[in-house]
Structure 1
Amino acid sequence: MSDTKQPELKPSRRKFLAAAATGTAGAVAAGFPMIAKAQAGPISMRWQSTWPAKDIFHEYALDFAKKVNDMTGGDLKIEVLPAGAVVPAFGLLEAVSKGTLDGGHGVLGYHYGKQNALALWSSGPAFGMDANMILAWHKYGGGAELLAKLYASIGGNVQSFLYGPMATQPLGWFKKPITKASDFKGLKFRTNGLAIDLFTAMGAAVNALPGGEIVPAMDRGLLDGAEFNNASSDRLLGFPDVSKVCMLQSYHQSAETFEIMFNKTKYDALPAKMKAIIAGATEAASADMSWKAIDRYSKDYVELQAKDNVKFYKTPDAVLQEQLKLWDDIIAKKSAENAIFKEVLASQKAFASRAVKWDQDTYVNRRMAAGHYFGGKQAPAKKA
C-alpha cells in the first residue's frame, strides 16, 4: 500500500458520493439493474417473391408483409422484392435456405425439381379436395409434419407456412379451343410441378417457365399454349395480348396454395411472441387473400370478356376424365420410386375420404340459386 497521503474530499463532494451510494443501494434493494441496457432495434428481413411486380400474387406477398409489420408494431420489418431482384423465381428455396434471403413468397410446385413430393400440395385433383381442404389437411391432418419431413430430407433450412387457397386454375390459353385430349399431342405448353408429368403424358412438349416469362414466350411462338393461374394474374401478365381463347376447369392444379418461407435459423432466433404474431398474421392473410381473390378475379373475368374480347370455354369432360386416368398412372409410378411421396398421398387420401363426402353432402347447389336469381346471365362457360 502506498504511504502517499490522499487529498481530503470537500464537504460538498462527500455529500454527493454519500447520496449516490444511498441511491444505488436503494435501486438494488428495489430490484432495479445496476446498468440500464438499451432496447434492441427492429428486426429487418429482406424477402423476395416468385412473382413479377405487376402480378396480383406479388400484391398478396406485400399484403402479408404489411400485416406482420403492422401487428408487430414495426418490431419486425419485412421488405418483399419481386422475382429476379436477387435470384430467379425457381431459385427461391435455395436462396432462403442458405440465408441469401431471409424469406420468400411462392408455391411448393416451384421446388418440384428438388423433391417431387413437394408438388403434391399444389398439383393434381387432390382426391376431390379444394384448396381450403388442402389447408385443413395441412394443419389438422398431418400435412405440416410431412412437409417438415420433406424439407429435412433435402437439407432445406426453412420454416414453411402454407396459406392462401387458390381457385381451380384454367386448363390454359390456346390458339383455338381444346376439344379432345389428343389436341395436346405435340403442343408446346407451359406448366409447372407435377402438372409437367400430366401434360407430358397427354402428349405436350412442356416448358416450365416462371410467370413473368410466359407471355413473351407465347408472343415469340416458343409456346402454343400455357396456363398460369387466374383471371387477374393472367390479365395483368398480358395473356389476352397473345391469345383470345381460355379453357376453364382442369385437374392439373385444382387445389393449390401459397407458401410463406423463412430461413429457419433466423426464424428460430425470433422471440416466441413474434412467432405467435407471424402465425396469426399468416392465417389473417389467408382469409384476406381468399376474399380479395373473389373480388378481383370476378371483376377481371368480366373485363377479359367485355374489353379484351376473350372467349372462355369449359374444358370437355372427356379431357378431364383423361387427366384423372393419367394422374393415377403418374402417382402410382412415383409412389413406387419415392416412399415419402407415397406417404403424403396416403395422408391426403385418408383426410379427403371423409372431408370431401361431408362437403358434397352438406353444401347446396349454388348454380341452381344463381340461375334462379340471374337467369341466363349465369350460364356456364361455352362448350368447346
Structure 2
Amino acid sequence: MTTETAKPRSNRRSFLKVATLAGAGAIAMPQVSRAQTVTWKFQSTWPTKDIFHEFAGDFAKRVNDMSGGRLKLDVLAAGAVVPAFQMQDAVAAGILDGGHGVCAYWYGKNKAFSLFGTPPSLGWDATSFLGWMNHGGGYELYNELVGQTLKLNLVGFLSGPMPCQPLGWFKKELKTPDDFKGLKYRTVGLAADLMKEMGAAVTILAGGEIVPALERGVIDGAEFNNPSSDSILGFQDVAKVYMLQSYHQAAESFELIFNKTKFDALASEQKAIIKYAAEAASSDMIWKALDRYSKDLDMLRSKGVNVVPTPEVILKAQLVAWDKVLDKLSAENAFFKKVVESQKAWVKRTVAYERVNTPSRELAFTHFFKA
C-alpha cells in the first residue's frame, strides 16, 4: 500500500472520530429554553400575614423555580396595586398580570361565578369539587362563563381545596335557625344568598375590614375561612364563640387568574409550568393547611375561645335554604342551572362511590382516640 492511499483512510478515521465526539457533546448538552424572560406582577386578595397570601407565594415559587427564572411572578399583597375586590378587573385590563383569590369575590358580575368558588353543599368536599373541575366538565363551563358569557380577558386555574369553613365568630352561641333572623352577618358569594334566605342581614366585606366591623357592632357575626387566617385577623380579640361546621362554604378552592393576552403570548413550556405549578401547589396547600389549621385551633382554645359545633338543626335549615336558593337562581339564570346540574351529576356518581367504598372515619378515630 502506498503512502498516498493510506492518508485518506487516516483522514476518514480522524473525521469520524471528531464527528462522533461532536455528536456526543451535542447529546450531553442540556436543552436550554429559548423562551423570553418575563416578570409579572401577581397580586393576591389577602393581607401580607394571612396564610392565604403564603399560599399565593407557594404557587409563585413553583413557577419561578421550574421556569429557571425565565418566567418570574412578583407576589404582591392585597392593596399593593388595587384593593382586593378590584383584582380581577385589574388583571383583565393588564394593570396586573395575574392574581390569587376566590371566584366568590366576582359573583356580583354573575352569580354563577360563585358556583366555581362557593358551590352548594351537595355532600361533597373541595377535593371532589376540583375533581369535577378537571374531569367532570367544570373547566369547560368555567371557560364558557369567563370567555363567552362575560367576555373577560382572563385565563384561570382553580387550585387548593379548602377544608370546610366554620360558621363563624359570634358574641354568643347560635342554637336554632331563628337566631339568624335579623343577625348582621358577613360572608361572600352564594353564602350571602343562603344566609339571607335564613333571615340574616348580610354584609359583604374584604378580609381586613371584618374584625373592625365586628368590634364596632356594625355586624353581629362573621365568617372568614379557617383558624390560621381568622387568628391573624384577630377575631379572638373581639369575639369568643367560634362555631365550626357549616354548609355555607363546604367545598371552596382558590382561583389563579392571568391576563389572557399576556398568557397567550407565553412560550408553550411557560404555559405548562403555570398549569402544573397550580396542580402541585394544590396538593401542598391542603397538606400545609391540615398542619397549620389544627395547630392554630388548639392555640385559639388556649386563649379562651369557646369552640363549639354548629347544631344539627341549623345545618338542616341550611340545606333547606340551599334548595330554595338553587331553585330561585336556576329559574333566573339558565347558565347557573346548567352548572348546578353538572355538579349534581358528578356528586351523585362520585360521592355514591366514596360512601360505599370508604369506611367510617369517625368509627376508626373514636376507636384509637376515645377522649
TM-score by structure 2 length?
Answer: 0.89
Question: Hey, what's the Cα distance between the residues in 1 that align with 2:362 and 2:82?
Answer: 44
**Counterpart check, 1:211 vs 2:207:** yes
Given candidates 284, 299, 304, the residue that maps to 2:300 is 304
**Counterpart check, 1:333 vs 2:328:** yes
Question: Hey, what's the Cα distance between the residues in 2 that align with 1:261 and 1:181?
Answer: 37
Question: Hey, what's the Cα distance between the residues in 2 that align with 1:220 and 1:126?
Answer: 32
Question: Cα distance, 1:41 vs. partner?
Answer: 5.2
2:366 maps to what in 1? Answer: 371
2:128 maps to what in 1? Answer: 133
Given candidates 71, 88, 91, the residue that maps to 1:93 is 88
**Counterpart check, 1:271 vs 2:267:** yes
1:283 maps to what in 2? Answer: 279
Question: Cα distance, 1:40 vs. partner?
Answer: 6.7
1:34 maps to what in 2? Answer: none
Question: Hey, what's the Cα distance between the residues in 1 that align with 2:87 and 2:178?
Answer: 35
Question: Hey, what's the Cα distance between the residues in 2 that align with 1:92 and 1:154?
Answer: 16
Question: Cα distance, 1:123 vs. partner?
Answer: 2.4
Which string of whole-angstrom CA distances, capped at 9 and with x for unpartnered residues, describes residues 294-331 of structure 1? Answer: 0000100111101x211111111111111111111111
2:338 maps to what in 1? Answer: 343
SS of the aligned residue for 1:262 comes to strand
1:31 maps to what in 2? Answer: none
SS of the aligned residue for 2:127 comes to helix
Question: Cα distance, 1:139 vs. partner?
Answer: 0.5
Question: Cα distance, 1:126 vs. partner?
Answer: 3.6
Which string of whole-angstrom CA distances, capped at 9 and with x for unpartnered residues, describes residues 67-88 of structure 1? Answer: 1000100110101111111111
2:235 maps to what in 1? Answer: 239
Question: Hey, what's the Cα distance between the residues in 2 that align with 1:362 and 1:245?
Answer: 36
1:61 maps to what in 2? Answer: 56
**Counterpart check, 1:158 vs 2:162:** no
SS of the aligned residue for 1:78 comes to strand
SS of the aligned residue for 1:309 comes to coil
Tell me, yes or no, if the aligned pair for 2:214 and 2:220 is still in contact at 8 Å: yes
Gaps of 5+ in 1: 1-38, 377-384
2:13 maps to what in 1? Answer: none
SS of the aligned residue for 2:369 comes to helix
SS of the aligned residue for 1:335 comes to helix
SS of the aligned residue for 2:300 comes to helix
TM-score by structure 1 length?
Answer: 0.86
Could you say what the CA RMSD is over the residues aligned between the two structures, in angstroms? 1.1
**Counterpart check, 1:43 vs 2:33:** no
Which string of whole-angstrom CA distances, capped at 9 and with x for unpartnered residues, describes residues 166-211 of structure 1? Answer: 0000011001111001101111110000111111111111110011
1:168 maps to what in 2? Answer: 164
Question: Cα distance, 1:124 vs. partner?
Answer: 4.6
Given candidates 218, 221, 234, the residue that maps to 2:217 is 221
Bigger Cα Rg: 1
Divergent runs of 4+, >4 A:
none
Letter in 1 for 2:343: Q
Letter in 2 for 1:213: E
Distance change (3 Å), C-alpha of 1:200 and 1:275: same
Question: Hey, what's the Cα distance between the residues in 2 that align with 1:360 and 1:305?
Answer: 32
2:100 maps to what in 1? Answer: 105
Distance change (3 Å), C-alpha of 1:174 and 1:124: farther
Question: Hey, what's the Cα distance between the residues in 2 that align with 1:340 and 1:172?
Answer: 31
Total equivalences in the alignment = 337
Tell me, yes or no, if the aligned pair for 1:157 and 1:264 is still in contact at 8 Å: yes
Which string of whole-angstrom CA distances, capped at 9 and with x for unpartnered residues, describes residues 328-358 of structure 1? Answer: 1111111111111011001101111111111
SS of the aligned residue for 1:240 comes to helix
Tell me, yes or no, if the aligned pair for 1:174 and 1:246 is still in contact at 8 Å: yes
